Amino acid sequence: MPSKTKFLGSNLILSPTSKCLMRSSNSRRWLDPKQWVSRLGLMCATTAIAGFAAPAFAAGPAFNNLTQSQFDDAIRELSANSSFYSVSGASSLGTIFGIEAGLVAGLSGSPKINEFAKQVDANADVGRIPHANILAAVSVPFGITGEMVFLPSISVGDFKYQQFGAALKWTANEGLPFLPFNLAVRGFITRNSMNFKQTLNNASTGNVPVDVTVTQENSQTGIQILAAPGLPLVEPYVGVGFISAKGSLGVSGTTTGTIFSFTSAQNAESQPTSTQLLLGVTANLLIVNLGAEWSRAFGTDTYNVKFGFKF
């Protein structure tokens, strides 16, 4: 049996931007409110990844001798985890203008990854994969809303992660006021990458333990149709969509080693597609915007929550 993997160390490396209460090095003044909110959001997202993602990957075994089916299942579940999630319904942020900033965090089920992980290590527990992103959105006239979710590159021990997603949403009610409910169309793209260190020990390394770096990359395009009743404070919403993803896994740090059993190559790619179902609710409490959402895509469930400020 391959040696048990140590994915992560215990040291958290924070970007200087997370030090939101530090004074500027070029002036004696405190940071202005916009800078403070931005850096607070980055600090919270980094803490979420450090507190939840790190333990999840630390508990898992190495990717080792993956079959074609296991590799495809892994890419599908990783795609579900790294899709676009803004936890926002069909309405815009304002008839003329609106701004939202906040944090979105959630968990995606990974039963297939957990299944073959336990074949390598019976104590492994990677049945859910967490994620967290900073959210920024702005609405302009004619029902147009631009949304962005992002997490700059962060490092937690031997684990590195970054995410970016952008979306454009059109709320049809602004142009078709006779509609009895809110109706919107959203198109999005995402880019995601992570890498971590592990020990690889199989026939491709001559059955000698070798320290390697595993890299995962994922990109997606998708479209969603959202509908919601026109309620003033609470907006329950439903949605359907379609997502096309491209994911890859690769290994570096060894001349001949591979994590796959179906190919001797050190990198492999899969391009899954999936329909998507969405069910969520948002609540506007003065300037505070809260939300919760369930999504079904790529054969697994994802649950997200949002805490934000709306102006």
Domain ranges, residue 81:
29-310
Q: What angle do CA 68, 66, 214 make, to 5 degrees?
A: 115
In this structure, is residue 224 part of a structural domain?
yes
Confidence (pLDDT) at 176: 74
203 CB contacts (<8 Å, ≥6 apart)? none
In this structure, is residue 108 part of a structural domain?
yes
In this structure, is residue 223 part of a structural domain?
yes
- pLDDT tens per residue across span 163-204: 999 999 999 987 677 788 899 999 999 999 988 888 888 898
In this structure, is residue 18 part of a structural domain?
no
In this structure, is residue 13 part of a structural domain?
no
Confidence (pLDDT) at 61: 45
| 3-class DSSP assignment, residue 260 | strand
Confidence (pLDDT) at 120: 67
Q: Residue 285, class by beta-carbon neighbours within 10 Å (0-12 exposed, 13-18 middle, 19+ buried)?
A: exposed
In this structure, is residue 301 part of a structural domain?
yes
Q: Residue 136 carries which side chain, given as an amino acid letter?
A: A
Distance (Å, rounded) from C-alpha 52 to C-alpha 7?
A: 14
In this structure, is residue 4 part of a structural domain?
no
Q: How many structural domains is the chain composed of?
A: 1
In this structure, is residue 118 part of a structural domain?
yes
Low-confidence ranges of the chain (pLDDT < 50): 1-31, 33-34, 36-37, 58-61
